[in-house]
Amino acid sequence: MSCLFCQIIDGSIPSTAVYQDEQCYAFADINPQAPVHILIVPRVHIASLAQTGPEDTAMLGHLMAVSAEIARSKGLGAGYRVVANTGSDGGQTVGHLHLHLLGGRGLGWPPG
Ligand code: AMP
Ligand code: ZN
């Protein structure tokens, strides 16, 4: 299996787990861009948000709901950001759909 995040999900590459259920796995980003930087990843391999369709609506909603729950558990009451970098212009570097949950400091806008 060549996909990095599939290998993290199956445990063949180590990660620091934050949350998991039957649909998704969340773990600490190895190169954090904020005091809290967590990746929320569906267990199913989908390359990016651009490859999703109506059949993925429930899974995508679940990833967002899990992100909000993790943000609550991390005490991010002052706010946070949830991002799905998509494709080359979107800055995506790992070809397995994932949400970034970033928080713990003020975040600039627009992104660079
Ligand atoms: P993106 O650039 O949106 O595709 O995000 C990929 C993210 O995966 C980056 O923030 C990386 O720091 C992170 N990352 C890459 N390898 C690992 C790893 N082995 N464990 C945890 N996070 C990783
Ligand atoms: Zn994968």
- Residue 50 belongs to a domain: yes
| Closest ligand by atom to 6 CA | 2
pLDDT values of the chain reduced to their tens digit, one per residue, 112 residues: 689 999 999 999 999 999 999 999 999 999 999 999 999 999 999 999 999 999 999 999 999 999 999 999 999 999 999 999 999 999 999 999 999 999 999 999 999 8
Q: Whose C-alpha lies nearest to ligand 1, atom 18? A: 30
Query: 47: Cβ below 6 Å to ligand 1?
Result: no
Q: Which residues have a catalytic role annotated?
A: 98
Query: 29: Cβ below 6 Å to ligand 1?
Result: yes
- Residue 111 belongs to a domain: no
User: Is pTM beyond 0.85 here?
Assistant: yes
- Residue 39 belongs to a domain: yes
- How far apart CA 97 and CA 88 sit, in angstroms, is 13
- Residue 110 belongs to a domain: no
pLDDT at 1: 60
- How far apart CA 89 and CA 109 sit, in angstroms, is 17
In sequence order, which ranges of 10-56 are alpha helices (DSSP H)?
none
Domain of 30, in residue numbers = 4-103
- The CATH number that applies at residue 9 is 3.30.428.10
Q: Considering its fold, how many domains does the chain have in total?
A: 1
